[in-house]
Amino acid sequence: MARERISHKSDSEILLMREAGLITAAALNAVREAIRPGVSTLELDQIADAKIKSLGGSSNFKLVPGYHHTICSSINDEVVHGIPSKDRILEAGDIISIDCGAIIPSGWNGDSAFSFVVPGGDPELMAKRQALSDACEGSLWAGIAALASATRLNEVGRAVEKAIRSKGAFGILQDYIGHGVGRSMHEDPAVFNYQTRDLGPVVENGLVIAIEPMITAGSQSVKILADDWTVSTKDGSDSSHWEHTVARHSGGIWVLTAEDGGAAGLAPYGITPVPVKS
Ligand code: MG
Ligand code: MG
C-alpha cells in the first residue's frame, strides 16, 4: 500500500474546521426541514447553497471539476453522487441521502451526509428503509466511537463493518470510502468501511477524517449512471449514506459537523466529545 501523506491539524486549525463543520451542519439541517413529497432535489440544493452563503461560507462541492451543485441527492437505489434536478421530485416513502460540504474563507472544509425517509409512504416500505438508514447511521457512530481510542486507523473500518453486520445482510460498498479532510475536502488517509488486511496508518492527534459508510439492502455491486456521476446499485436495492467530519486531538474526539459535537451519538458508547480549547 502506498504510503499516505497525512496532514495533521493543530488545535487552532481544528477550531477553524469546526466553523466549516457547523456551516455544513446548518445547511444539512435546512435541507432536512424542507424534505417532503413534491419538493425537487434542485430546490433542496438551492436551500443548502443559500444557508451556506448566509453563514459566510461557500460550497466546496462546486470546486470539484465538472460538478455544479452544492449537494448530492441520491434517491432509493442511488447510493451517492446523485445530481440535483428540477425534474427529480421526491415521493412519499422515498429514502434520500443528502451529502453536502462547506469551505470557509480561510480555506478549511466540512463534509457530512445523512439519509432520510420521506414521510407519508407505505408503512411497511418506510420501516424497511428506516431500518436501512438506522443501520448505516449506527455504523457511523460505531466508527466514530472506535476512532476515540484507535491506535491504527482500520480499527474504524472494523467497527463500522461489525456494526453493519450486526444489523442484517446489508451490502457495504467497496469502491467508495471515507477520507481525510482539511484544506482539501478529500485528502489522505483512506478511511475504509470494512476490515482490511493492513491495519492502516497509526492514529495521531490532529487527524481529521470523514467517516462515511455507504450500504445497500442487497448486493454491494454498483454502477455509474449515464450522467457520469450517479452511483446506483446494480440490483436496484435501496441504499443509505451517512457521514461526519471528525477530529481526534490531544483532548479527545470532536465531531466537527455535528452541532452537539457528537454528544448524542457517542453517549451509548460512554464517550463524551471534547471541543478543542480556543
Ligand atoms: Mg460527503
Ligand atoms: Mg466525504
pLDDT band (50, 70, 90) for residue 38: very high
Q: Provide the b/e sequence for 187-197 (b: ≥16 CB within 10 Å).
A: bbbbbbbbeee
* Interval between CA 67 and ligand 2 midpoint (Å): 15
Q: Name beta bridge partners: 50.
A: none
Tell me the C-alpha distance between 85 and 102, whole Å: 20
For 97-144, what is each residue's pLDDT tens digit?
Answer: 999 999 999 999 999 999 999 999 999 999 999 999 999 999 999 999
Q: What is the mean pLDDT of residues 194-214?
A: 97
Strand-pair partners of 211: 244
Cα–Cα distances in angstroms (integers) from residue 190 to residues 180, 195, 256, in the given order: 7, 13, 19
Rounded to an integer, what distance in angstroms lies between the CA atom of residue 5 and that of residue 23? 27
Copy the grid coordinates of residue 243.
457521514
pLDDT score at 278: 80
Coil vs helix vs strand at 37: coil
Q: What's the 164 CA to ligand 2 centre distance in angstroms?
A: 19
Confidence at 4, pLDDT banded by 50, 70, 90? confident
- CA of 71 from ligand 2 middle (Å) equals 12
Contact 15, 278 (CB under 8 A): yes
Percent of the chain with pLDDT over 70: 99
**Rounded to the nearest whole angstrom, what is the distance from the C-alpha of residue 125 to the centroid of ligand 2?**
28
Question: Over the stretch 210-269, which tens digit does the pLDDT of each residue have?
Answer: 999 999 999 999 999 999 999 999 999 999 999 999 999 999 999 999 999 999 999 999
Give the Å distance between the CA of 259 and the centre of ligand 2: 18
Residue of 230, 51, 240, 263 whose CA lies nearest to 145 = 263
From the CA of 97, the nearest ligand is 1
pLDDT tens figures, 86-97: 999 999 999 999
CATH top-level class of 11-269: alpha beta
